[in-house]
Amino acid sequence: MRIDLHTHSSVSDGTDAPEALVAEAARAGVDVIALCDHDTFDGLAVAVAAGQRLGVSVLHGIEISAQHHGVSVHLLGYGCRIDDPALADELARIRQGRSGRVPAMLERLSRAGMPVPREVLDRYVGDSPSIGRPHLADAMIELGYVSDRREAFDRYLADGGPIFVGRYATPLGRGLDLVREAGGVAVIAHPWGRVSRDELPASLLGRLAASGRLDGVEVDHQDHDPSTRAELRALASGLGLLTTGSSDYHGAGKKDHDLACNTTAPEVLAEIGARVAARGGLLVGEPPASV
């Protein structure tokens, strides 16, 4: 069984519509995917329905924009009750922070000689309620300012870059609590990747594991080299944390992140399902019609 627990659709910053993402998973022979769009559940209903037609199990996931000591942390939640009021309110606050900084970033681009008309940006945002820097990067690519998303981030959009504008992100501890209170399982995505390793040392992961707030860490990810994966896997084993693997698929938005380039073991998925069931969450099934 091939299980990919971290994928994105065009409802956040992926380039494939939810149904196209599921169709691609079916073509690639992937049995299970988790849709983890940034700070929104809006793509789940379409993705789950497509999965039922195409024989792909689509799990309820989300990637919450969190932070620790001002450094971005990507928090995956599996099986959360997506109509949980506290979680819904926090996600709305995060999304407002995303959209609220866009005018300032457009102004900085204009001052740097790279004007991006709002109508160009809006083509890439589409119907997504979760505006992200990758949408701005895609507009910059169209206008010939950069060659790809990586160049856009490395030169301009990354934290601390000349175009970057800060925004609200959930404190990590609060994000962990919100996932748990909504019946979900909390896993930190690519914790020792390019940005967050210094702020997520072994000592902190140990405290979060001991408190019962953190369920697992994403070990097998393209931002982790083999030695990092081995080190993090050994740490997780000692702490009793689950270890997942995934592609972090964004369609054409990320190179070398093909579906199921990294996978999660079936026994880990079974344990995630058991914890979600015990906490009253929902890992598989149609989202509420009102969401």
Give the rounded distance of the alpha carbon of 4 from its chain centre: 13
34 three-class SS = strand
User: Could you tell me which CATH class the domain 3-93+170-279 is placed in?
Assistant: alpha beta
Pair of tokens at residue 240: 């009793």
Helix (H) or strand (E) holding 53: helix 44-54
User: b or e along 27-64 (b: 16 or more beta carbons within 10 Å of the residue's beta carbon)?
Assistant: ebebbbbbbbbbbbbbbbbbbbebbeeeebbbbbbbbb
> What is the C-alpha separation between 289 and 5, in angstroms, rounded?
24
pTM of the model: 0.89
> What is the C-alpha separation between 282 and 10, in angstroms, rounded?
23
Give the rounded distance of the alpha carbon of 262 from its chain centre: 15
Domain ranges for the chain, please list them: 3-93+170-279, 102-157
Beta bridge partners of 72: 67
pLDDT tens by residue, the chain, 291 residues = 999 999 999 999 899 999 999 999 999 999 999 999 999 999 999 999 999 999 999 999 999 999 999 889 999 999 999 999 999 999 999 999 988 999 999 999 999 999 999 999 999 998 788 788 989 999 999 999 999 999 999 999 998 899 999 999 999 999 999 999 999 999 999 999 977 788 899 999 999 999 999 999 999 999 999 999 999 999 999 999 999 999 999 998 778 899 999 999 999 999 999 999 999 999 996 544 433
Residue 249 contacts residue 25 (beta carbons within 8 Å)? no
